Homo-oligomer: A and B are copies of this chain.
């Protein structure tokens, strides 16, 4: 039990033992060159620290070491399934390495993202892991961050010409594969696609994947209807579906989780049901998929793996190599594999 809780610092415990703060610091951090300090001193110090209820002040430590053992996690919306699961694993893996994580929700707002990014630098995080909506615009900031000796890791959203490691899934290949298998299974009529901001390279890649499949199936793109505006929100998914439905598509691709949710919601409100009234295939799993009346084929992302990799890159001392790490996505269809 702490005695003078909350107000004990290194000096206190040093004076208490008639030692120097230096000694205490080194012992408490196991940072003594090589087999120095007698065992007895070590014991005494540790005991005293516990007894006095010493809690190191990470601020002071960070200031003097220029190392905070913190990372910033910047995502569009932590409440979305993908980022939620990502965050859990990421935070866990970071913690395993002694790191704490700041959370920022950008809501895909560019200005807000910039503010958060700089805020994180001011807080001297050692690294920031970001699913950025800035695209190539982020280059300048990355350089800045590197000048400050901070690591930057991008994930989820693709971007070109970026001087930072980038962790994504193989959006195009995965979507193409999914589309191919779906297109093969029957004649389809009009094909609808629900996507978000066309400037989002990840979404663009997914769309390309679909185009690849259409080409291979010798389907004219004239049968392709694309609803692409704004964000990847459920609201936009609803709106897009509504818009798409005017073309009575036999097959609908949704390119992001929230879009899918919105699309299904709107379909239901039109008394339509995926599987019977139209076929649905989508990128990423979505909540409640398991209890739709039919199986919805989807591209399943290796979220946990992404999060682990990002945590590793962010929490290792060395500057991570600038490379695009492309993870293979899986295919999901049958319910309840969670």
Contact = CB atoms under 8 A, between A and B. Distances in A.
Interface of A: 1-2, 5-7, 53, 55-60, 62-63, 68, 70, 73, 77-81, 84-85, 87-88, 91-92, 95, 100-105, 116, 118-124, 140, 143-145, 147-149, 234, 264-265, 268-269, 287-292, 335-336, 338
Nearest to A61: B122
A315 B105 CA distance: 18
A2 B142 CA distance: 13
Given A59-B59, A268-B335, A73 B290 contact: no
A149 B287 CA distance: 42
A144 B7 CA distance: 10
Contacts of A122: 55-58
B77 A88 contact: yes
Contact of A144 (B5, B119, B140): B5
B84 A78 contact: yes
Nearest to A265: B336
A121 B85 CA distance: 26
Contacts of A88: 77-79, 105
Given A124-B59, A287-B288, A291-B288, A78 B68 contact: no
18 contacts: A5-B143, A55-B121, A59-B68, A59-B123, A70-B123, A79-B84, A79-B87, A84-B84, A91-B103, A95-B104, A95-B116, A100-B119, A101-B102, A265-B291, A265-B336, A268-B336, A288-B289, A288-B290
Contacts of A123: 58-59, 70, 100
A105 B79 contact: no
Nearest to A60: B63
Contacts of A269: 335-336
A70 to B, nearest CB: 8
A120 B147 CA distance: 28
A328 to B, nearest CB: 23
Given A62-B59, A149-B6, A268-B335, A102 B100 contact: yes
The 4 closest A-B pairs by CB, nearest first: A288-B288, A287-B287, A6-B148, A79-B84
Contact of A87 (B78, B85, B289): B78
Nearest to A92: B105
Contacts of A101: 102-103
B338 A234 contact: yes
A91 B104 contact: yes
Contacts of A81: 79, 287
Contacts of A63: 57, 59-60, 63
A246 B148 CA distance: 62
A311 to B, nearest CB: 13
Nearest to A125: B100
A71 to B, nearest CB: 10
A205 to B, nearest CB: 25
A69 to B, nearest CB: 9
A28 to B, nearest CB: 12
